[in-house]
Structure 1
Amino acid sequence: MRWETMATPPGVRPPSPLTVRAQSIPPRHDFPEHAHAWHQVVYAISGVLTVAVEARSFAISPEQAVWLPTGSRHRVGSLLGAEFRSLWIADEAGTGLPAAPTVFGVSPLLQALIVEAAEIEGRGDDDARYAGRVTDLILDQLRRAQPLPGALPWPREGPLAALCQALYADPADDRSTEEWGREIGMSGRTLTRRFEAELGMSLRSWRRRLRVFKAIELLGGGLGVTQTAMELGYGSTSAFIYAFRTDIGRSPQNYMRGQHGQGARAIR
């Protein structure tokens, strides 16, 4: 199934100092590569986004967002669909924020502030002082946000993208590297070499990280631990809990309890 390109939003005006745009992205749709004369925060309140910027591409869940400094050329899309919130921030308001594109954890407070900012924008709230306080809190939260070095890398296009899309849709698929190579028209050795060159890790390591990524997404959506383990293809709940604890440092139950009072933690 091919991807469809979405039109850029009409009536684009520079933020002063912050504008929030709310939009739904249908499955397998993306915006064409573009850049802004202002900073941007890419965030989904539900679903998963793929973000391509500066020869890198990765997937982010609602526990993560991407900071894009002024002038960063990027492309945003979604494999399965997402509710998208885009924060446009005036260049001069970005003091103290990273100079390079960064994936960071979204705290419950920042998530609530983004939702509130979108609501205010939609209502045309006359209380400018309140809107200003919300904006100031968002900027403070962005400056306090912690970078996540463990974001899930994602191929930009081609057969590796098709492979990763298939595994994302069905993380329980346990076909070998050789089997996947035949599926996408290359030898297992070539697939291994190209995957490591483009994504910086082996297919096996990527699949392990994908399962953790998907586990957080499924658990956050209310699925139970046992159901999540089965969806991800683990042979037992205990095997899933062990793998999750190995990567995250906590059990799935403890991790999700902690998310109610803390921001996202990096996937190591």
Structure 2
Amino acid sequence: MTWEAIEVPSGLAPPQPIRVRAQSIPARHYFPEHAHRWNQVVYAISGVLTVAVEGHSFVISPEQAVWLPTGLRHRVGSLLGAEFRSLWIADEAGRGLPESPTVFGVAPLLNALIVEAAAIEGEADRDGYASRVSDLILDQLRRARPLPGALPWPRGGSSLTALCEALYADPADARAPAAWGRELGMSERTLARRFETEVGMSFRSWRRRLRLFKAIELMGGGLDVTRTAMELGYGSTSAFVYAFRTEMGFSPQAYMRGRTPDQGTHC
């Protein structure tokens, strides 16, 4: 299936100091590559976003967001659809925030503040409430910890994109690299080399990270640990718990309870 472009907003006034845009992105739709005259936080309160920036492409879940400094060209889309929230932040308000694109964890408080900012966007700020919400958002952004947990993704148009999309839709698919190579008309060695070049990690490592990424998405949507393990193709719940703990440093049960020491910064 092909992807369809969404018109990039134009002719808008700069944020003073923050503006929030709320938009639904249908499945397989994207904003073509563009840049803004202000900083941007790319975030989805539900669904998953694909972000391409500086020659890299990756996927983020609602537990993650991306900071994009002023003038940085980027492309944003969604494979399965998402409720997109875009925060535009003036340069002066963004002082002290990263000077390069950064993926960071979204704590529950920041999530709630973004939702509230979108709800009151455009209202007159007679009592200063909107300004206080904006100040709290900026405080939360400065406290957010960068993380490497985004899921790398091939650039659009690559034959590897079909492979990654298929595994994202069915992470329990256990076909070996050789079988995928035959599916794509290339040798296992060629597949391995291209995956390392385009995605930045081995196929095996990427599939392991995909399962972790999907686990967070599924459990965030209400699935219990046992059902999540089954959906991801693990042979047992204990195998899934072990893999999750090894990668994340805490159990999936702890994640679901929200009792991890850095909840919202490492997930």
Code of the residue aligned with 1:247 in structure 2: it is: E
Q: Displacement, 1:263?
A: 3.7
CA distance in structure 2 between the partners assigned to 1:98 and 1:70 by the alignment: 11
Q: What percentage of residue pairs aligned between the two structures are identical?
A: 75
Please, which runs of 5 or more residues in structure 1 have no aligned partner?
Answer: none
| Alignment size in residue pairs | 266
- 1:54 — aligned with what? 54
Instruction: Provide Cα deviations, 1:195-217, integer angstroms capped at 9, x if missing partner.
Output: 11122211000000000000001
CA distance in structure 1 between the partners assigned to 2:159 and 2:99 by the alignment: 32
- Cα 1:61/1:223, change in 2 over 3 Å: same
CA distance in structure 1 between the partners assigned to 2:198 and 2:232 by the alignment: 24
- 1:29 — aligned with what? 29
The within-5 A match list for 1:1-268 is 1-9=1-9, 12-121=12-121, 124-127=123-126, 129-157=128-156, 158-258=158-258, 262-266=262-266
SS at match of 1:50: strand
Q: Displacement, 1:152?
A: 1.2
Q: Displacement, 1:259?
A: 6.0
CA distance in structure 2 between the partners assigned to 1:259 and 1:210 by the alignment: 23
CA distance in structure 1 between the partners assigned to 2:52 and 2:197 by the alignment: 17
Question: Which shifted more, 177-186 or 79-88?
Answer: 177-186
Code of the residue aligned with 2:148 in structure 1: it is: P
User: Is the contact between residue 151 and residue 266 of structure 1 (CA under 8 Å) also seen in structure 2?
Assistant: no
SS at match of 1:91: coil
Q: Displacement, 1:261?
A: 8.0
CA distance in structure 2 between the partners assigned to 1:60 and 1:242 by the alignment: 23
Taking only aligned residues, the RMSD between alpha carbons, in angstroms, comes to 1.5
SS at match of 1:94: coil
Q: Displacement, 1:241?
A: 1.0
User: Is the contact between residue 104 and residue 265 of structure 2 (CA under 8 Å) also seen in structure 1?
Assistant: no
CA distance in structure 2 between the partners assigned to 1:43 and 1:135 by the alignment: 16
Instruction: Provide Cα deviations, 1:232-254, integer angstroms capped at 9, x if missing partner.
Output: 01111111111111111211111
Please, which runs of 5 or more residues in structure 2 have no aligned partner?
Answer: none
Q: Displacement, 1:125?
A: 4.1
CA distance in structure 2 between the partners assigned to 1:110 and 1:244 by the alignment: 25
Q: Displacement, 1:30?
A: 0.4
Code of the residue aligned with 1:168 in structure 2: it is: Y
User: Is the contact between residue 24 and residue 84 of structure 2 (CA under 8 Å) also seen in structure 1?
Assistant: yes
CA distance in structure 1 between the partners assigned to 2:259 and 2:89 by the alignment: 27
Q: Displacement, 1:11?
A: 5.0
SS at match of 1:264: coil
Task: Return the structure number with greater helix share.
Answer: 1
- Cα 1:166/1:22, change in 2 over 3 Å: same
Code of the residue aligned with 2:141 in structure 1: it is: L
SS at match of 2:67: strand
Q: Displacement, 1:150?
A: 2.8
Q: Displacement, 1:12?
A: 2.2
User: Is the contact between residue 110 and residue 137 of structure 2 (CA under 8 Å) also seen in structure 1?
Assistant: yes
CA distance in structure 2 between the partners assigned to 1:161 and 1:231 by the alignment: 22
Instruction: Provide Cα deviations, 1:175-223, integer angstroms capped at 9, x if missing partner.
Output: 1111111112211100100111122211000000000000001001101
CA distance in structure 1 between the partners assigned to 2:247 and 2:42 by the alignment: 26
